[in-house]
Each structure stands twice: as C-alpha cells, then as structure tokens.
Amino acid sequence: MLAVSDTIAVLRDVLRLGARAEDFTAGTPLLGSVPELDSMAVVDLLTALEARFELRVDDDTITAETFETVGSLHAWVLASLAT
C-alpha cells in the first residue's frame, strides 16, 4: 500500500523542499502555505506523480481541494490508482 511518505517524497523532490519536507504530515497545508507550490509547480507535481506511481491524471478529478493538504493530495493519488 502506498504510504503518505511516498507522496511527501514526490513533493520534496519536485518542489525542492529538502529537509523542510521531513516535518510534513498528512495534515500539513499545501496550497497557499508552501510558497514553492505555485500554478507551474502543480503541473510539474502532477507529471511527477503520474511517472512515479504510474497513474493517469484525469483533469476532471483535480480541484483546489486536491492540494489543500498533504493528506488530500495523497487521497487523490490513492483514488487515481484505484481507477
């Protein structure tokens, strides 16, 4: 089963967060709280998630709530893997 730490690893790598990502938990806010997560970074992040977890991004499933917290992003990844 994919762990939230796997999603955090992608966030760390794509956003180049380094050691800052070590403190991330499922409850860590993302959009509006992590300055590196701008609109261009969202595209890069989605591309990296597709590649890392071999999932397909369906634009209809992506909302601002997807990027509200680490946990909501992780839940979206899990749901995308299930389809």
- In which domain, by residue range, is 10 found? 4-82
| Per-residue pLDDT reduced to its tens digit, 6-64 | 999 999 999 999 999 999 999 999 999 999 999 999 999 999 999 999 998 888 889 99
Number of domains in the chain: 1
Q: Which long-range contacts (CB under 8 A, 24 or more apart) does 26-34 make?
A: 26/69, 26/70, 26/71, 26/74, 27/69, 27/70, 27/71, 28/69, 28/70, 29/68, 29/69, 30/67, 30/68, 30/69, 30/70, 30/72, 30/73, 31/64, 31/67, 31/68
Q: Write down the pTM of the prediction.
A: 0.93
CATH number, position 53: 1.10.1200.10
